[in-house]
Amino acid sequence: MRPLFTLFFLIAVITASAQEQTLPLSLSLFNNGTSLPGKGYAGVFSKSIHPGICLGTAHRYRQGQRSELFQTLKLGYFYHRYNQHGLQLYSEFGYRYRITGGFYAEGLLGAGYLHSFADVQQFRLEDGRYVKKKNWGRPQLMATASLALGYDLQSCSTLPLKLFLQYQFWLQTPFVNKYVPLLPNTALHLGAIYSLKRPRHNNHPGS
């Protein structure tokens, strides 16, 4: 069910984005921490460095004079030393409000698929001795909520580029069954969104 859930979002966003005249491509670098919001430097930045990278795109459902409603599709990776590697595939519903002078704010809610790999050796008891387990990773679910502030460079130039700072709170489940079923995480993203123009195709009779 988990892969089907993620596949549903994948197909929905790609199909919808294919109808757009522009394709927004996002890239962000982030630091991930296993903590609740309010921990770390200034309550938002993990004291330890657990690096990550995230790629994504989005489809816009509605655009008003100052606001828009959209959906994202993102693929991420992070590394937490002595804990885990994580591959993320998730989608978010977002609301963007343009403040003034190119600045904007966003709120996002989403869910998706997480595949985690332990960063420590694991063993199992077999015939009275411990044998090293193969690390194929574990399929899990993730849920996420984010707030972001950004700046649209098109307000002062012709460059279709947005810069943003995003604070993300997300849950990983199940982490350790019957012990830590939900693992809270926070991530601070610094990134950019580039709107790639699609070539126009002219329809000719008989084509």
Q: What does the pLDDT read at residue 21?
A: 73
Nearest CA to 193 out of 63, 57, 92, 95 is that of 57
Cα separation, 84 vs 55, in Å, equals 20
End-to-end CA distance of the chain: 41
Domains in the chain with CATH codes: 2-121+136-197 (2.40.160.20)
Distance separating alpha carbons of residues 131 and 26, to the nearest angstrom: 43
Cα 62 to Cα 95: distance, rounded to the nearest angstrom: 10
Phi, psi of 21 (to 5 degrees): -80, -20
At residue 158, φ and ψ (nearest 5 deg) are: -100, 5
**Phi and psi torsions of 11, nearest 5°:** -65, -40
pTM for the full predicted model: 0.81
Per-residue pLDDT of the chain (207 residues; tens, 9 = 90+): 455 555 555 555 555 555 567 889 999 999 998 888 877 775 666 778 899 999 999 999 998 989 999 999 999 999 988 888 999 999 999 999 999 889 999 999 999 999 998 876 655 556 666 665 666 788 999 999 999 999 999 888 889 999 999 999 999 988 766 666 788 999 999 999 999 886 665 555 444
Q: Report DSSP state, residue 83.
A: T
